[in-house]
Amino acid sequence: MTSLAGRRAAVIGGTGFLGSHLVERLVAEGAHVLAVARTTARLCRLSAVRGDCTVALADVCQPESIVGALRRFRPNVVFHLAAHADANESFGHFAECVRVNGLGLVNALQAAAEGGAELFVYGDSAKDYGNASVPYRAAQASRPICSYAIVKSAGWQLCQLAASFTKLKTIAIRPTFVYGPRQNRNVITHVRECVTAGRPVTLMGGTQTRDPLFVDDAVDAFVAAAQKPRAWGQAIPIGGGQELTVISLCEAVIGALGATVPVAAGAEESRLTEIWRSNSDNVDAYQLLDWQPRFSLSEGLARTVSDWTIGDGAVPAVTVRARRGCYLAAVSPGVVFRMLDRRELDDRRAAPRGGRRAGEAGPSEPVRAHAARSGSLPASLHLVMPAHGEHV
């Protein structure tokens, strides 16, 4: 698979931070893209490509949901980025990691296999290496020390096992700390909150190191993973190429914001599962993927701060209503996704972008009635599919 142009690519977790950026990039590459999301809550992140991608509402923890979506879309490649995030340890956190990152992955692998995919790109984590020596290498053994990383590491083994008895090829990308526009809550957003409030930046420790990786660079690596068959079967660490202390990272963010608040290192107790050094020199990624980061920390932070000045990325509530014989998810004025039911014609797989035009047959009366009563999507409504070239 040397090019993604004209290929069918599914991104599980397609409205997430990394996933939404990947969807945009795949569209730009000329791929026919399915963004899989559990809910409509973050559909706004795909507003820029709403006329060029398909959205499936499917939960990886519900096998019939995710398997059904990929069976219908028939992807060539599946990027799996849906995950329960790392957090403070508790039995509840253990359970969610196993449920979402473990069983959810199994369901995603089954969906990819039954959907006829050739390649499964697993969004892994450099946290798999725990407190092993740095820089990270592809041949290095995993040494996870937190529940998130334990299940992530086991997930790569499950990917390899699935490849042994299906036609799936697999590859894992293990990023270090990814940041950028639309990022979830992390140390960089914590600095911004402190600066905005005019208070010191308090840290859990501060002397631990991180290797910040700008989101566009991470996306480049995932795209390269789908285009380099020689790398398939490998778990490849990637990073920004600069190991620095968390204190230094915070100071860089403060500088990018043009502020002067102090950094209070050690103000809070470090996690029991703290990773003290994190760094990838990207030797394996360069050799296997022809990849290396393009953005320096200062460039990445400048782009991140610039995005903050545009807006905070607040996601308005999504309403669902019937219009012109089809379902529409209105995210905000002028930003509309068209909702179709599960019924699909076999020959739709060959269509340039999939989906039926608004004038064609829409959902059945029972489905339409359900939406009118509940104001939410029934379980049978999985796909948001703008017709190719149609203004939505």
Task: At 357, list the tokens.
Answer: 């035009």
What is the signed CA dihedral for 301, 13, 131, 277, rounded to 10 degrees?
Answer: 0
State the Cα–Cα distance between residues 276 and 208, nearest whole angstrom. Answer: 4
Q: Choose the catalytic residue: 122, 129, 148, 179.
A: 148
* List of residues 6+ apart from 252 with CB closer than 8 A: 244, 297, 298, 301
State the Cα–Cα distance between residues 364 and 341, nearest whole angstrom. Answer: 8
Strand partners, 123: 173
Residue 148 is a catalytic residue: yes
State the Cα–Cα distance between residues 99 and 165, nearest whole angstrom. Answer: 23
Q: How many residues does the chain have?
A: 392
Sign of CA dihedral 222, 228, 229, 235: negative
* List of residues 6+ apart from 21 with CB closer than 8 A: 180, 181, 182, 215, 216, 218, 219
State the Cα–Cα distance between residues 68 and 344, nearest whole angstrom. Answer: 11
Residues classed as catalytic: 148
